[in-house]
Every structure is written in structure tokens, then in C-alpha cells.
């Protein structure tokens, strides 16, 4: 895919986001942390959620996920720090992960009396998982929506085989983008020791090629003794949180996710 085509896809994503209803009126400030762009959604108290947006490691930005970040801040009562991480193909792995970790470390340092959780949807969910592994014992929650947990997207996965075409998220396209993002080998969270990770909220969707990977991650967490709230939303496609304005079912699923996120972080 040519650079101008990628730029057009990104522009289209921002334009679609501009047509969605705005999120809750949370105080917002843009800035940088050690050279990494961020958007801070301020709430009272020292507790924080570091958020990584989705977009297949290629698309997505602070604008496309602004309303969702606002909802997380309102629901949890925590300040949300959204990371404007570098994307593929211009910046392959580990650039995006390094950016998330840079922001997470800064938050951990500047708010030593507060609790810090990680959140992410889709590709951002994968980055949140990697950050939780890298800073095991220092974060208090993982809030995941339709996460990329099995980055290889194996053809042996039933959800990849059955839901990879015709259900919103194109599995072949995502596999290509993951190849741009991690032309070498990316870490595999499903092969890691998950003992000691923080409580997790993992919500997948019935008609999502990423479903089985997310379900497997939730199962592996439970086997490691990690508290998990996990469900597969019936009848929904990938990343319902971006479609709350179009679908009552997506809005209801989003509300459930936000309630559970608040519960885990109490």
C-alpha cells in the first residue's frame, strides 16, 4: 500500500470520528512526555489510566478515540492519559511499545501516590498487554476491548478462519498491517508467564477474527491466578466502542464494559 493511500485512510478515520457525538465534557490538555505526544483527560485524585488506541498499528490517533477516552475517564473517575504512539509502516516495532512504556513510566514516576492502570482497544490492547508484562506488579488493572492478543493471527484459529472476511475487520488486511508493524518477530503474550499480572477486563465479540486470541488470553490469565472479568458479546463485530452512536447493541456493550472497568479499578 502506498504512502498516500495510508494517509488517506488515516484522514478518513479522523473525518468519521468528527461526525460522531462528542464524549463527556472532561477537561482535556494536549502535551508531550519525553517527546511522546499525549492527551490528558483530567479527573480529581492521583489515579490514572494510560490508554493506547486501536487501529491495526497503522491507523487511529488521539482524535479517532477521543470520545472513548472521555468515557473511560468519566466512568472510572481516573485521569486518562492517551498515548499518541508512532505507527507503522513508518515506525515498526518496538516504536509504538516504547512510546507507551515511556508514558507509563512517566506517570508512575510523577504520580507515586496514585494507582495506574492500562487500557487499550484492538492493537492498543496488545500494547497494553505488553506494557503490563513489562511493568508487572506496578499497574493495578488491564482494561481491554477486542484486543489483539494472538498477533500471528494463525489460520488454525477458528475465529480468524470464520470471521476474517465479511464481519467488519478484514483478517487479511490486518495480517498485512501487522507484518508492516513487526516485520521481525513480535512478542507473544500467550506464551509468557502471566503470574502476577493485574486484574483484567477482557471483552471480545462473537463476529471478530480476534475473538479466540482474546478469549485465550483471558483463559491463560485465570490459569495464572489473575482475577478476570471476561465475556464475548453475542452478535457484535470488532470494536463496538467505536459504533455506540450507530447501534443500540454496541452502546449497551460499551456501557457494560465501562461499568466493569470502574468495578475492577475500585
Under 8 Å between Cβ of 215 and 232: yes
The distance in angstroms from the start CA to the end CA of the chain is 44
Model's pTM, two decimal places? Answer: 0.97
Q: What CATH superfamily classification does 3-264 receive?
A: Alpha/Beta hydrolase fold, catalytic domain (3.40.50.1820)
Catalytic one of 122, 157, 159, 243: 122
pLDDT tens track, the chain, 266 positions: 677 899 999 999 999 998 888 999 999 999 999 999 999 999 999 999 999 999 999 999 999 999 999 999 999 999 999 999 999 999 999 999 999 999 999 999 998 889 999 999 999 999 999 999 999 999 999 999 999 999 999 989 999 999 999 999 999 999 999 999 999 888 999 999 999 999 999 999 999 999 999 999 999 999 999 999 999 999 999 999 999 999 999 999 999 999 999 999 99
Distance of CA 51 to the CA centre of its chain: 7
Which residue ranges make up each domain of the chain?
A: 3-264
Catalytic, 122? Answer: yes
Measure Cα distances from 180 to 96, 99, 129, 227, 248 in Å. 12, 17, 20, 34, 35
Amino acid at each position: 500500500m502506498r504512502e498516500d493511500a495510508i494517509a488517506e485512510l488515516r484522514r478518513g478515520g479522523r473525518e468519521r470520528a468528527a461526525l460522531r457525538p462528542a464524549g463527556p465534557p472532561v477537561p482535556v490538555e494536549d502535551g508531550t512526555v519525553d517527546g511522546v505526544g499525549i492527551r490528558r483527560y483530567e479527573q480529581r485524585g492521583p489515579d490514572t489510566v494510560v490508554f493506547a488506541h486501536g487501529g491495526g498499528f497503522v491507523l487511529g490517533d488521539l482524535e479517532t478515540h477521543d470520545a472513548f477516552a472521555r468515557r473511560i475517564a468519566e466512568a472510572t473517575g481516573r485521569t486518562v492519559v492517551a498515548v499518541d504512539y508512532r505507527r507503522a509502516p513508518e515506525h515498526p516495532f518496538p516504536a509504538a511499545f516504547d512510546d507507551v512504556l515511556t508514558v507509563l513510566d512517566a506517570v508512575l514516576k510523577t504520580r507515586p501516590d496514585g494507582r495506574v492502570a492500562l487500557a487499550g482497544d484492538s492493537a492498543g490492547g496488545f500494547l497494553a498487554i505488553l506494557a503490563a508484562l513489562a511493568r508487572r506488579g506496578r499497574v493495578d488493572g488491564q482494561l481491554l476491548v477486542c484486543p489483539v492478543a494472538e498477533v500471528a493471527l494463525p489460520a488454525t484459529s477458528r475465529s480468524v478462519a470464520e470471521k476474517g472476511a465479511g464481519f467488519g475487520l478484514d483478517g487479511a488486511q490486518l495480517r498485512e498491517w501487522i507484518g508492516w508493524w513487526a516485520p521481525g518477530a513480535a512478542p507473544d503474550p500467550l506464551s509468557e508467564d502471566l503470574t502476577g499480572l493485574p486484574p483484567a477486563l477482557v471483552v471480545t465479540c462473537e463476529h471478530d477474527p480476534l475473538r479466540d486470541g482474546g478469549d485465550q488470553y483471558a483463559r491463560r490469565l485465570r490459569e495464572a491466578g489473575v482475577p478476570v472479568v471476561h465475556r464475548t458479546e453475542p452478535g457484535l463485530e470488532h470494536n463496538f466502542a467505536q459504533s455506540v452512536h450507530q447501534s443500540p447493541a454496541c452502546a449497551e456493550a460499551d456501557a457494560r464494559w465501562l461499568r466493569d472497568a470502574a468495578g475492577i479499578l475500585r
